[in-house]
Amino acid sequence: MEPTGEDQMPMRGELPAVAARPYTRAATAETGWSRFVAVISNPDLQSVIAFCAIGFLLTINVVLRFPDFGEAVAQLALFP
């Protein structure tokens, strides 16, 4: 019994040759820069940076406003 057209595997053509891309520093630098811009323009990252900056500024403000606060906390830790 001869296989019919439906039973045969489909023919595959020759695979295309893969051309090697030349290595260029400019393309690498452009890719790195575009990735950096994409990360920096992410709104989630900007929100996290803003939240951390506000916390840092509040911490500096409290440290400067109450310079003996650390000493008071250390004294509280001495008494059980």
In this predicted structure, the answer to whether residue 53 has a pLDDT above a threshold of 90 is: yes
22 in a structural domain? no
Instruction: Provide the pLDDT confidence category of residue 2 given band limits of 50, 70 and 90.
Output: low
In this predicted structure, the answer to whether residue 34 has a pLDDT above a threshold of 80 is: yes
In this predicted structure, the answer to whether residue 1 has a pLDDT above a threshold of 70 is: no
In this predicted structure, the answer to whether residue 71 has a pLDDT above a threshold of 80 is: yes
46 in a structural domain? yes
Domain with 55 in it? 42-80
50 in a structural domain? yes
20 in a structural domain? no
Sole residue written with tokens 């059980």: 80
Cβ atoms 27, 33 nearer than 8 A = no
Give the pTM: 0.52
Q: Give the Cα separation of 13 and 6 in Å (integer).
A: 18
19 in a structural domain? no
- Domains in the chain, number: 1
The residue type of 29 is A
